[in-house]
Amino acid sequence: MTSKPKFDFEKEGHLTIGHVDENEIDRVAESFKDRSLFITGGTGFLGKVLVEKLLRSCGELKRIYLLIRTKKGKDPQERIKDIFQNVLFDQVKQLRGEQRIFDQVVAIAGDVMLPGLGISEQDLETLRNEVSIVYHCAATVRFDEPLRNAVFMNTRGTKYMLELAGTLKHLDFFAYCSTAYCHLHVKTLYEKPYDPPANPHQVIQACEWLPDEEVSLIERKILGDIPNTYAYTKSLAEALVVEKFNELPAVILRPSIVIPIWKEPIPGWTDNINGPTGLLIGAGKGVIRTMYCNSSGYGDFLPVDVAVNGILVASWRNITAGTDHTNRVAHMTSSNDIKVSWAEIIELGRWVIENKVPLNGVAWYPGGSMKSNYWVHYVCMVLFQWMPALFVDALLLLLRYPPVLCRVQNRIYKGFEVFEYYANNVWSFDNSEAVKLRKLMNNKERKTYVIEKIDLDLIDYFTNCVLCARRLILKESDESIPAARRHMKIMWFVDKLYKGMWLFGILYMLYRCFFAS
């Protein structure tokens, strides 16, 4: 077994919260009291955590309207019921009562892809008369989304939202949830607007006029140096929001790579395996064994509960002070406080999976390393990912089971085409606004809406991430962990045997070439 990883930042002193006076007022919660909110993207990862936090910590708000489309035959009301069945909402249901939550959260049937958001006139009238706070979080986060779809969802959808916001009679705050990774040509990103890569109105018009096939043909030329449609369309959407700064109380919030919950309400909770969690699961299952990556580089990761806390604190500041007296762009980032290299993440993940939380059905013993040379990585990928996948799939076919691993490796290969760009570049993010906000908060607010580096234990954090992914996404029960450990030992033997056979084969060939004659 490997030794427990150590991290340099753990030697630093943590920020601490002083005594919380029971008479202190939660001014963040007060700023939402008796208000109605309109949220898009409330069924997504960030959106679910945002809704849960609002209900739990700002329970005196009047109502949350969620824009929800019909999906898989389920209408918006059914989908809201499904959302609240998620374990994420168990704590708030016990705290507030299930009926109270259903009274506070109302579905608005619609779709950001449709003109006018597809909202009925009756619902539009309700929003115009009641809503004073808007969070636009809806987006496609697929990096390989076809350009036309990404423009319609991320850019034109934002345009529609801004048009709706302009008709709200009591609007005090409009927040566009962007991303810190949307201006990739800027290596140090400051909390200010940046010029878009193109005119967003012209791009929208072009995508409306041209069929999918023609947009696909010119997609690479349109994107230029921008590696994916996600970054491109989010930067266009920011430009649309900036255009409205003189007309609307609008701000741009830029969270970095949002990862599973750190602390509340369920440590490690996630509803997807994007980001580092996906790497840990892939490596833990033995299907990822090599990566082309600058091992000393790092990404900027932010637990989703901390991102949501930052959104709410920024909302309070802008609502009470007014957007004319605040910065209109704010970052929710972590790398100025904590930097964890890609190598440390992999070392950490390997230790957690080997020593604490093994996964079921491991295809190969976890191992491998990062490569700074692409061709070395490519050779290792063929030898230690594709060839074992072919071997296992051949056995499955002989046993009359459908092949699996080659399909998985194909998906990993496509995913790495996106990942490698970010893994081999490093960006820095100014977070001056977060530093200012920390100084404005009282102890009660600092405890309720944590946006500081406090007692973060990465071993515990990633253990919780893998456990939640195991239980909630992979559907593997805790009772199966002992069997997973036994299977891991078997795969260790298979791994050593496979490597031994290759080594023997190479030595034998060398012997035949140089000594046999």
DSSP string, 159-203: HHHHHHHTT-TT--EEEEE--TTS-TT-SEE-SS----SS-HHHH
Which amino acid does the sequence have at 318? Answer: N
Q: φ and ψ at 220, to 5 degrees? A: -60, -35
Tens digit of each residue's pLDDT (9 = 90 or more) over 357-406: 888 888 778 877 788 888 888 888 888 788 888 888 898 888 888 888 88
Is there a single domain that holds both residue 56 and residue 150? yes
Is there a single domain that holds both residue 413 and residue 283? yes
Predicted confidence band of residue 349 (pLDDT cuts 50, 70, 90): confident
Is there a single domain that holds both residue 308 and residue 348? no
Instruction: Round to whole Å and give the CA distance between 318 and 251.
Output: 9
Tens digit of each residue's pLDDT (9 = 90 or more) over 216-246: 888 888 998 899 999 999 999 999 999 999 9
Burial of 64 from C-beta contacts in 10 A (0-12 / 13-18 / 19+): buried
Q: Which domain holds residue 113?
A: 27-266+299-338+427-451
Q: What is the pLDDT of residue 16?
A: 53
Which amino acid does the sequence have at 315? Answer: S
The verdict on residue 253 lying in a domain is yes
Average pLDDT over residues 326-337: 87
Say how many domains are in the chain. 2
Is there a single domain that holds both residue 318 and residue 372? no
% of the chain exceeding 70 in pLDDT:
94
Tens digit of each residue's pLDDT (9 = 90 or more) over 158-175: 999 999 999 999 999 999
List the one residue out of 132, 43, 53 whose CA is nearest residue 80. 43
pTM recorded for the entire structure: 0.89
Instruction: Round to whole Å and give the CA distance between 492 and 497.
Output: 9
Token representation of residue 240: 């649309």
Taking the CB of residue 463, how many other CB atoms lie within 10 A of it?
A: 20
* The residue to which tokens 């909302």 are assigned: 315
- 3-class secondary structure, 91: helix
Tens digit of each residue's pLDDT (9 = 90 or more) over 271-290: 887 777 777 788 788 778 78
The verdict on residue 292 lying in a domain is yes
What is the tally of helices (H) and strands (E) in the chain? 21, 13
Instruction: Round to whole Å and give the CA distance between 174 and 151.
Output: 21
- 3-class secondary structure, 34: coil
The verdict on residue 331 lying in a domain is yes
CATH of the domain at 128: 3.40.50.720
Which amino acid does the sequence have at 120? Answer: S
Q: For 474-511, give the secondary structure using H, E and C.
A: CCCCHHHHHHHHHHHHHHHHHHHHHHHHHHHHHHHHHH
The verdict on residue 456 lying in a domain is yes
Helices 342-355, 275-284: inter-axial angle, 10-degree rounding: 50
Is there a single domain that holds both residue 147 and residue 272? no
The verdict on residue 19 lying in a domain is no
Predicted confidence band of residue 17 (pLDDT cuts 50, 70, 90): low
DSSP of 95-159:
HH-HHHHHHHEEEEE--TTSGGGG--HHHHHHHHHHEEEEEE------TT--HHHHIIIIIIHHH
* The residue to which tokens 């994007």 are assigned: 274
Choice between 201 and 513, residue whose per-residue pLDDT is larger = 201
The verdict on residue 278 lying in a domain is yes
The verdict on residue 15 lying in a domain is no
What does DSSP assign to residue 41?
S
Is there a single domain that holds both residue 150 and residue 211? yes
Q: What is the pLDDT of residue 296?
A: 80
Is there a single domain that holds both residue 256 and residue 278? no
- 3-class secondary structure, 412: helix
Is there a single domain that holds both residue 258 and residue 185? yes
Is there a single domain that holds both residue 512 and residue 404? yes
Instruction: Round to whole Å and give the CA distance between 349 and 369.
Output: 12
Is there a single domain that holds both residue 354 and residue 433? no
C-alpha atoms less than 13 angstroms from C-alpha of 241 in its C-beta half-sphere = 31
Is there a single domain that holds both residue 419 and residue 497? yes
Is there a single domain that holds both residue 294 and residue 309? no
Tens digit of each residue's pLDDT (9 = 90 or more) over 427-474: 999 999 999 999 999 999 999 999 987 667 888 988 998 899 889 988
The verdict on residue 72 lying in a domain is yes
- Mean of pLDDT over the chain: 87
Tens digit of each residue's pLDDT (9 = 90 or more) over 52-73: 999 999 989 999 999 999 888 8
